[in-house]
Amino acid sequence: MEPFDKVTGIVAPMDRANVDTDQIIPAVYLKRIERTGFGPFLFAAWRFLPDGSPNPDFVLNAPGYQGAKILVAGPNFGGGSSREHAPWALLDYGFRALIAPSFADIFQKNCFDNGIVPVHLPQEQVDQLMAKAKARPGYRMTVDLETCRISDDEGLDIPFVVHNDPDTHEFRRHCLLNGLDDIALTLQHEDKITVYERVHGIQ
């Protein structure tokens, strides 16, 4: 997993609540076994018209939001099924940070395991950032995981957490900063695992 320090980039506003994983990556595209290649199908039902052409009314198709790295969304982002393909699609598209008042639990865990930072902010601050991104396509800001602050070149400075539980926040922040998914965390104890296997005749 790629470590996350901070990201500076264009902010895309998705002013919708309860965006679920089937909307993030529709089930029809879940035929690949690799983690890559899902970006072109991100939000496919919204991004494309029935004839396959880009939907001009969808935010990610607007010129000012091309190449966005930060997504601001409504509450309960990532609900629905537990498919890990949802963060795969977001990451493959180019998003490294998601900002919302709340995230579905399993989706949030999948973000942690794939190097995407889920930024928790109160609704009023999300509304503030949403308004900035809507009013000025191409608006940029920085999500800094070292300091746990969001900033822009206009004096914005907002603290954030990646999990509402303080202990979980620090653990997940450590893992994201160091690129540690569940496998990498386990392999930190590889020497002890090797000894155990030898003692018990597993090797």
Closest C-alpha to 116, from 74, 145, 139: 145
Domain span at 13 = 6-199
Q: Is residue 193 part of a domain?
A: yes
Q: Is residue 110 part of a domain?
A: yes
Number of domains in the chain: 1
Q: Looking at residue 113, which CATH number applies to its domain?
A: 3.20.19.10
Q: What is the pTM of this model?
A: 0.90
pLDDT for 203 equals 61
Query: For residue range 1-25, what is the model confidence (pLDDT) as tens digits?
Result: 888 999 999 999 999 999 999 999 9
User: What are the distances in angstroms from CA 128 to CA 5, 89, 172, 178?
Assistant: 24, 26, 26, 31
Query: For residue range 98-109, what is the model confidence (pLDDT) as tens digits?
Result: 999 999 999 999
Q: Is residue 1 part of a domain?
A: no
Q: Is residue 158 part of a domain?
A: yes
